[in-house]
Structure 1
Amino acid sequence: MFKSAVLNISEPVNQQIYRKLRKAIITCQVLPGVLLSEKEISSQFSVSRQPVREAFIKLAEAGLVQILPQRGTFVTKISIKKVMDGQFIRDAVECAIIKQAAIKIKDSDILLLQKNLNEQKEANKQKNIHYFLEKDDEFHQILMNVIDCQMAWESVENIKAMMDRVRFLSLEQISPPEDLVKQHEKILIALKNHDPELAAIAQHEHLSAILETIKIVSKQKNEWFVD
């Protein structure tokens, strides 16, 4: 399942396994309906089954797997309702955050966001979807760091797991990265102007795009969706 199953000693093993599995599911390396083997994964990471079991539980909380007693752990299909619910919650949280960020943002934060945008453009130029998605996430995480609210990012990251699967499927043909970069640029302009209302509008437009995207993706990959 993994090209590299090397873990580091600086953080809990279960969290590392969770992130690797999460990424594999979101980027369609592991498809809906696939049975995840606790034994196989623990062997790949050279760990006991306990941290793998803990990672499965966290994946289930994010809606990415379903744990069925006596049957196993299966990758879920993409729930349209959960995507829409996640968008609603994320929109409320991040629009509130960006209003505060527009007031508190410093020149050093602007530089970080600009650097991130440049990296997004480079990722798009190289057609590196995985790296682009990482930089997209980083952009939003920087905004939460501006107001020193790490808990917000932890909550959003869990909420958006199902949304991220749609994002990956829609890149290039439906939601080209260059369009997402332009949306981020609008957000950054509002932040530079310290305009909370304009920043919130730009953020809302950016986060609402998935509501149209999912209609197209769910028709193209109908067998991967429920609801």
Structure 2
Amino acid sequence: MDATLRLKDPIAPQLVQVLRQAIIAVELRPGEALSEKEIAGRFGVSRQPVREAFIKLAEAGLVQVLPSRGTYVMKISMRAVANARFVREAVECAIARAATTLITPAQVARLRALIEGQRNAAALDDHAGFSVLDEDFHQLLAEIVDCDYAGRVVEGARAQTDRVRYLSLPGASPAPLLISQHVAIVDAIEARDADGAETQMRKHLREILNALPRIAHDHPELFEDEIMPEHTRTLHIP
């Protein structure tokens, strides 16, 4: 959890991002207690922005604040991950369809540059860098359709799915597979193929359903349940 905060900018949002990434990367492990005093001391800030960051992380389902008992990193819930993925599919498939009519050549080039960055990160086994570029890829799609709200919905849902996505690298969901799926999405969008873009996005976002049971089996100490919602157990990729 090495990071330098920009003291001229609001501290709490920066702490949210730093702590969020540490939770996703399992640097802060599920069930681990978080100390306001310790984190404030580590970053040289007061305890107030740390408290605000804890509240935001609790809203995202990443930590649990127990009055008079402390704050703890939440274990991963298969139900929460599956539900978040379900929401992402609904929103991001719509984004992919809309992008086929709105995207510009410059934006296609930006998407392909992010994919190339992922290839480089994968070659270096840089899972954290790969995950950041994955987030940038999906956020850029939301920007292309000029829907800030959709972008915020996706970002909120990612808080759950990114924990599993990080653990899935490189075994359960190999980076080359995820990269090839991104390429297929961009190819369909560039070709103005709305049905194809939606199909490829749906296939990409459902990949986590293949990885989730295996990750839960390999890391049972990180999970709080083994039950997936019915709507996810009955989905089949075309």
Q: Output the TM-score relative to the length of structure 1.
A: 0.97
Alignment of 1:1-227 (within 5 A): 2-4=1-3, 6-227=4-225
Q: RMSD of the alignment, in Å?
A: 1.0
Query: Does structure 2 retain, via aligned residues, the 8 Å contact 1:103–1:195?
Result: no
**Aligned AA for 1:148?**
D
Q: How many residues align?
A: 225
Contact 1:99 1:200 in 2 (8 A): yes
Q: Where in structure 1 are there 5+ consecutive unaligned residues?
A: none
Deviation at 1:151, TM superposition (A): 2.4
Tell me the CA shift for residue 10 of structure 1. Answer: 4.8
Q: Distance in 1 between matches of 2:108 and 2:7?
A: 33
Q: 1:30: how far off? A: 0.7
Paired amino acid for 2:2: K
Contact 1:7/1:45 (8 A) holds in 2: yes
Deviation for aligned residue 1:41: 0.5
Displacement, 1:12? 1.3
TM-superposition CA deviations, 1:182-214 (whole Å, max 9, x none): 000100110110111100000000001111111
1: CA distance between counterparts of 2:139 and 2:2?
A: 27
1:109-140 Cα distance to aligned partner (Å, 9 max, x none)? 11101111111111111111111111111111
SS of the equivalent of 1:160 reads: helix
2:224 & 2:32 partners in 1: Cα distance? 15
Q: Would you say the 8 A contact 1:26–1:165 is kept in 2?
A: yes
What is the DSSP-based 3-state SS (H/G/I as helix, E as strand, rest coil) of the residue aligned with 2:65?
A: strand
CA shift in 2, pair 1:151/1:10, >3 Å:
farther
TM-score (norm 2): 0.92
Q: Structure 1 residue runs of 4+, over 3 Å off?
A: none
Measure the CA separation in 2 of the matches of 1:87 and 1:80: 10
Query: 1:156-186: CA deviations, max 9, x gaps?
Result: 1111211111111111111011100000010
Q: C-alpha distance in 2, partners of 1:53/1:46? A: 14
Give the structure 1 partner of residue 229 of structure 2: none
